[in-house]
Amino acid sequence: MAVYNRTASKALAWVALNGNRAAPTPAEAAEGASIVLLCVGNDDDVREVVLGEGGCLAAMTPGSILVDHTTASAGLARELAAQCAERGVGFVDAPVSGGQAGAENGALTVMCGADDPDIYERVEAVVAAYSKRCRRMGPVGSGQLTKMVNQICIAGLLQGLAEGVAFAQRAGLDVDDVVDVIGQGAAQSWQMDNRASTMAASEFDFGFAVEWMLKALGICLDEAARNGARLPVTALVEQFYRQIDQRGGTRWDTSSLVDLLQHP
Protein backbone atom coordinates (compact mmCIF):
# COMPACT_ATOMS: atom_id res chain seq x y z
CA MET A 1 0.00 0.00 0.00
CA ALA A 2 1.12 3.53 -0.79
CA VAL A 3 -0.39 6.61 0.86
CA TYR A 4 -0.43 10.25 -0.15
CA ASN A 5 -1.58 13.32 1.77
CA ARG A 6 -1.40 16.91 0.62
CA THR A 7 0.25 17.56 4.00
CA ALA A 8 3.25 15.25 3.64
CA SER A 9 3.89 15.05 7.39
CA LYS A 10 0.49 13.39 7.88
CA ALA A 11 1.32 10.64 5.39
CA LEU A 12 4.70 10.08 7.03
CA ALA A 13 3.09 9.90 10.47
CA TRP A 14 0.59 7.33 9.21
CA VAL A 15 3.34 5.21 7.69
CA ALA A 16 5.33 5.38 10.93
CA LEU A 17 2.37 3.82 12.72
CA ASN A 18 1.12 1.42 10.07
CA GLY A 19 4.01 0.60 7.77
CA ASN A 20 3.89 0.58 3.95
CA ARG A 21 5.17 3.71 2.19
CA ALA A 22 4.36 7.36 1.63
CA ALA A 23 4.32 8.78 -1.89
CA PRO A 24 5.15 12.40 -2.82
CA THR A 25 2.35 12.75 -5.40
CA PRO A 26 -1.05 11.17 -6.06
CA ALA A 27 0.31 9.69 -9.30
CA GLU A 28 3.17 7.93 -7.52
CA ALA A 29 0.78 6.60 -4.89
CA ALA A 30 -1.53 5.24 -7.59
CA GLU A 31 1.14 3.70 -9.81
CA GLY A 32 0.60 -0.04 -10.11
CA ALA A 33 -2.45 -0.04 -7.80
CA SER A 34 -5.51 -2.11 -8.64
CA ILE A 35 -7.73 0.12 -6.49
CA VAL A 36 -7.11 3.77 -5.60
CA LEU A 37 -9.18 5.32 -2.78
CA LEU A 38 -9.32 9.02 -2.01
CA CYS A 39 -11.04 11.31 0.46
CA VAL A 40 -10.34 15.05 0.36
CA GLY A 41 -12.27 18.28 0.87
CA ASN A 42 -14.54 19.38 -1.96
CA ASP A 43 -15.15 19.08 -5.70
CA ASP A 44 -12.15 21.20 -6.66
CA ASP A 45 -9.87 19.26 -4.31
CA VAL A 46 -10.97 16.02 -5.92
CA ARG A 47 -10.28 17.40 -9.41
CA GLU A 48 -6.82 18.51 -8.30
CA VAL A 49 -5.86 15.15 -6.81
CA VAL A 50 -7.34 13.11 -9.67
CA LEU A 51 -6.88 15.27 -12.77
CA GLY A 52 -4.32 17.94 -11.83
CA GLU A 53 -0.57 17.94 -12.28
CA GLY A 54 0.70 14.76 -10.69
CA GLY A 55 -2.90 13.54 -10.34
CA CYS A 56 -3.62 9.87 -9.78
CA LEU A 57 -5.68 9.11 -12.88
CA ALA A 58 -2.76 9.60 -15.28
CA ALA A 59 -0.88 6.82 -13.47
CA MET A 60 -3.74 4.33 -13.33
CA THR A 61 -3.88 1.39 -15.72
CA PRO A 62 -6.87 -0.08 -17.58
CA GLY A 63 -8.82 -2.42 -15.33
CA SER A 64 -8.00 -0.55 -12.13
CA ILE A 65 -10.68 1.26 -10.10
CA LEU A 66 -10.87 4.75 -8.61
CA VAL A 67 -13.03 5.11 -5.47
CA ASP A 68 -13.92 8.58 -4.21
CA HIS A 69 -14.96 8.72 -0.54
CA THR A 70 -15.19 12.54 -0.56
CA THR A 71 -18.60 14.07 0.14
CA ALA A 72 -18.97 15.87 -3.17
CA SER A 73 -21.56 16.62 -5.85
CA ALA A 74 -23.27 13.99 -7.96
CA GLY A 75 -22.24 16.01 -11.01
CA LEU A 76 -18.57 15.60 -10.11
CA ALA A 77 -19.06 11.85 -9.74
CA ARG A 78 -20.43 11.62 -13.28
CA GLU A 79 -17.62 13.86 -14.56
CA LEU A 80 -14.96 11.62 -13.02
CA ALA A 81 -16.67 8.47 -14.26
CA ALA A 82 -16.47 9.78 -17.81
CA GLN A 83 -12.80 10.71 -17.43
CA CYS A 84 -12.02 7.28 -15.97
CA ALA A 85 -13.91 5.48 -18.73
CA GLU A 86 -11.70 7.13 -21.36
CA ARG A 87 -8.72 5.37 -19.75
CA GLY A 88 -10.48 2.05 -19.15
CA VAL A 89 -10.58 2.72 -15.39
CA GLY A 90 -13.63 1.91 -13.28
CA PHE A 91 -15.15 4.48 -10.96
CA VAL A 92 -17.22 4.35 -7.76
CA ASP A 93 -18.50 7.36 -5.82
CA ALA A 94 -18.55 6.19 -2.22
CA PRO A 95 -19.16 8.92 0.38
CA VAL A 96 -19.12 7.79 4.00
CA SER A 97 -21.01 8.44 7.21
CA GLY A 98 -19.77 7.83 10.73
CA GLY A 99 -17.36 10.69 11.28
CA GLN A 100 -13.91 10.49 12.78
CA ALA A 101 -14.89 7.83 15.30
CA GLY A 102 -16.35 5.63 12.58
CA ALA A 103 -13.17 5.89 10.55
CA GLU A 104 -10.88 5.16 13.50
CA ASN A 105 -12.97 2.17 14.59
CA GLY A 106 -13.51 0.70 11.13
CA ALA A 107 -17.25 1.26 11.45
CA LEU A 108 -18.12 3.62 8.60
CA THR A 109 -21.29 3.39 6.54
CA VAL A 110 -20.48 3.65 2.84
CA MET A 111 -23.05 4.48 0.16
CA CYS A 112 -21.88 3.77 -3.37
CA GLY A 113 -22.70 4.65 -6.93
CA ALA A 114 -21.34 2.39 -9.67
CA ASP A 115 -22.49 1.77 -13.22
CA ASP A 116 -21.07 -1.75 -13.23
CA PRO A 117 -22.10 -4.09 -10.37
CA ASP A 118 -18.95 -6.16 -10.91
CA ILE A 119 -16.76 -3.12 -10.28
CA TYR A 120 -18.70 -2.45 -7.11
CA GLU A 121 -18.20 -6.02 -5.89
CA ARG A 122 -14.43 -5.68 -6.26
CA VAL A 123 -14.50 -2.47 -4.25
CA GLU A 124 -16.84 -3.82 -1.58
CA ALA A 125 -14.32 -6.46 -0.51
CA VAL A 126 -11.74 -3.74 0.20
CA VAL A 127 -14.09 -1.23 1.81
CA ALA A 128 -15.27 -3.95 4.21
CA ALA A 129 -11.93 -3.51 6.03
CA TYR A 130 -13.05 -0.14 7.44
CA SER A 131 -16.84 -0.16 7.26
CA LYS A 132 -19.76 -1.82 8.99
CA ARG A 133 -22.14 -1.32 6.06
CA CYS A 134 -21.51 -0.82 2.35
CA ARG A 135 -24.13 -0.87 -0.39
CA ARG A 136 -24.44 0.00 -4.08
CA MET A 137 -27.31 2.48 -4.32
CA GLY A 138 -27.45 2.63 -8.13
CA PRO A 139 -25.40 4.06 -11.01
CA VAL A 140 -22.61 6.62 -10.62
CA GLY A 141 -23.82 9.59 -8.61
CA SER A 142 -26.21 7.54 -6.48
CA GLY A 143 -23.76 7.34 -3.60
CA GLN A 144 -23.47 11.13 -3.43
CA LEU A 145 -27.24 11.56 -3.67
CA THR A 146 -27.72 9.09 -0.81
CA LYS A 147 -25.18 10.99 1.29
CA MET A 148 -27.22 14.15 0.67
CA VAL A 149 -30.27 12.40 2.13
CA ASN A 150 -28.13 11.44 5.13
CA GLN A 151 -27.05 15.04 5.74
CA ILE A 152 -30.57 16.39 5.29
CA CYS A 153 -31.86 13.99 7.95
CA ILE A 154 -29.00 14.71 10.35
CA ALA A 155 -29.40 18.49 10.03
CA GLY A 156 -33.04 18.46 11.08
CA LEU A 157 -32.45 15.91 13.82
CA LEU A 158 -29.58 17.88 15.37
CA GLN A 159 -31.59 21.08 15.41
CA GLY A 160 -34.48 19.30 17.11
CA LEU A 161 -32.13 17.76 19.68
CA ALA A 162 -30.45 21.13 20.31
CA GLU A 163 -33.83 22.74 20.96
CA GLY A 164 -34.84 19.89 23.28
CA VAL A 165 -31.62 20.11 25.30
CA ALA A 166 -31.81 23.90 25.59
CA PHE A 167 -35.49 23.70 26.58
CA ALA A 168 -34.74 21.10 29.26
CA GLN A 169 -31.99 23.26 30.71
CA ARG A 170 -34.19 26.38 30.87
CA ALA A 171 -36.96 24.28 32.45
CA GLY A 172 -34.61 23.25 35.23
CA LEU A 173 -34.52 19.58 34.24
CA ASP A 174 -31.52 17.28 34.44
CA VAL A 175 -30.65 16.62 30.79
CA ASP A 176 -29.12 13.20 31.48
CA ASP A 177 -32.26 12.11 33.34
CA VAL A 178 -34.47 13.40 30.53
CA VAL A 179 -32.46 11.59 27.88
CA ASP A 180 -32.41 8.39 29.92
CA VAL A 181 -36.22 8.40 29.88
CA ILE A 182 -37.16 9.71 26.45
CA GLY A 183 -34.24 7.88 24.87
CA GLN A 184 -36.16 4.65 25.51
CA GLY A 185 -39.05 5.85 23.36
CA ALA A 186 -39.77 7.29 19.94
CA ALA A 187 -37.35 10.22 20.39
CA GLN A 188 -34.32 7.93 20.54
CA SER A 189 -31.51 8.46 18.01
CA TRP A 190 -27.77 8.00 17.72
CA GLN A 191 -27.35 11.73 18.13
CA MET A 192 -29.40 11.72 21.34
CA ASP A 193 -27.46 8.77 22.76
CA ASN A 194 -24.07 10.27 21.95
CA ARG A 195 -24.46 14.05 21.89
CA ALA A 196 -27.22 15.21 24.23
CA SER A 197 -24.99 15.19 27.32
CA THR A 198 -22.09 16.87 25.55
CA MET A 199 -24.45 19.47 24.10
CA ALA A 200 -25.64 20.27 27.62
CA ALA A 201 -22.02 20.66 28.72
CA SER A 202 -21.15 22.85 25.68
CA GLU A 203 -18.52 20.35 24.52
CA PHE A 204 -18.13 20.44 20.76
CA ASP A 205 -14.95 18.53 19.99
CA PHE A 206 -16.32 15.29 18.56
CA GLY A 207 -15.29 14.94 14.94
CA PHE A 208 -17.34 16.14 11.98
CA ALA A 209 -16.80 19.89 11.87
CA VAL A 210 -19.18 22.73 11.11
CA GLU A 211 -17.16 23.74 8.05
CA TRP A 212 -17.73 20.32 6.53
CA MET A 213 -21.43 20.34 7.39
CA LEU A 214 -21.75 23.70 5.66
CA LYS A 215 -20.11 22.22 2.58
CA ALA A 216 -22.42 19.19 2.67
CA LEU A 217 -25.61 21.19 3.15
CA GLY A 218 -24.56 23.54 0.36
CA ILE A 219 -24.30 20.52 -1.94
CA CYS A 220 -27.77 19.36 -0.82
CA LEU A 221 -29.33 22.76 -1.47
CA ASP A 222 -27.66 23.04 -4.89
CA GLU A 223 -28.96 19.60 -5.88
CA ALA A 224 -32.45 20.48 -4.60
CA ALA A 225 -32.43 23.60 -6.77
CA ARG A 226 -31.74 21.32 -9.74
CA ASN A 227 -34.26 18.56 -9.02
CA GLY A 228 -37.05 20.69 -7.54
CA ALA A 229 -37.00 19.20 -4.02
CA ARG A 230 -38.15 21.49 -1.19
CA LEU A 231 -35.76 21.63 1.77
CA PRO A 232 -37.07 24.39 4.07
CA VAL A 233 -35.70 22.93 7.31
CA THR A 234 -32.33 22.13 5.75
CA ALA A 235 -32.05 25.68 4.42
CA LEU A 236 -32.84 27.07 7.88
CA VAL A 237 -30.32 24.83 9.66
CA GLU A 238 -27.67 25.77 7.09
CA GLN A 239 -28.18 29.40 8.13
CA PHE A 240 -27.75 28.42 11.79
CA TYR A 241 -24.46 26.69 10.98
CA ARG A 242 -23.33 29.87 9.24
CA GLN A 243 -23.99 31.73 12.48
CA ILE A 244 -21.92 29.15 14.40
CA ASP A 245 -19.14 29.59 11.86
CA GLN A 246 -19.26 33.37 12.34
CA ARG A 247 -18.95 32.85 16.11
CA GLY A 248 -15.63 31.14 15.56
CA GLY A 249 -17.05 27.61 15.66
CA THR A 250 -15.70 26.53 12.28
CA ARG A 251 -14.01 23.47 13.79
CA TRP A 252 -16.68 22.74 16.40
CA ASP A 253 -18.63 19.58 15.72
CA THR A 254 -22.17 19.64 14.33
CA SER A 255 -23.84 19.38 17.74
CA SER A 256 -22.77 23.00 18.37
CA LEU A 257 -26.15 24.21 17.07
CA VAL A 258 -27.18 24.27 20.71
CA ASP A 259 -24.77 27.15 21.36
CA LEU A 260 -27.09 29.53 19.51
CA LEU A 261 -29.85 28.58 21.96
CA GLN A 262 -27.74 28.54 25.12
CA HIS A 263 -26.09 31.87 24.29
CA PRO A 264 -28.50 33.78 22.02
Domains of the chain: 2-139 (3.40.50.720), 145-262 (1.10.1040.10)
d(CA 250, CA 25): 29
pLDDT at residue 84 greater than cutoff 90:
yes
Strands 90-93 and 96-97: unpaired
- Nearest in space to 240 (alpha carbons), one of 225, 261, 220, 216: 261
pLDDT at residue 100 greater than cutoff 90:
no
Q: How many CA atoms lie within 13 A of 96 on its CB side?
A: 27
The one catalytic residue in 10, 132, 147, 215 is 147
**Cβ-contact 78, 141 below 8 angstroms:** yes
Task: Report the pLDDT value the prediction gives residue 35, as an integer from 0 to 100.
Answer: 98
Task: Report the pLDDT value the prediction gives residue 86, as an integer from 0 to 100.
Answer: 97
- At 222-233, the pLDDT tens digits run 999 999 999 999
The mean pLDDT of 192-205, rounded to a whole number, is: 96
- At 28-79, the pLDDT tens digits run 999 999 999 999 999 999 999 999 999 999 999 999 999 999 999 999 999 9
Residue 180 burial (C-beta neighbours within 10 Å; 0-12, 13-18, 19+) = exposed
Task: Report the pLDDT value the prediction gives residue 236, as an integer from 0 to 100.
Answer: 98
Q: How many CA atoms lie within 13 A of 242 on its CB side?
A: 8
d(CA 120, CA 128): 12
Task: Report the pLDDT value the prediction gives residue 64, as an integer from 0 to 100.
Answer: 98
Q: Would you call 10 a catalytic residue per the annotation?
A: no
Percent of the chain at pLDDT exceeding 70: 100
**For the chain, what is the HEC assignment?**
CEECCCCHHHHHHHHHHHCCEECCCHHHHHCCCCEEEECCCCHHHHHHHHHCCCCCHHHCCCCCEEEECCCCCHHHHHHHHHHHHHCCCEEEECCEECHHHHHHCCCEEEEEECCCHHHHHHHHHHHHHHEEEEEEEECCCHHHHHHHHHHHHHHHHHHHHHHHHHHHHHCCCCHHHHHHHHCCCCCCCHHHHHHHHHHHCCCCCCCCEHHHHHHHHHHHHHHHHHHCCCCHHHHHHHHHHHHHHHCCCCCCEHHHHHHHHHCC
pLDDT at residue 207 greater than cutoff 90:
no
Q: Give the pTM.
A: 0.94
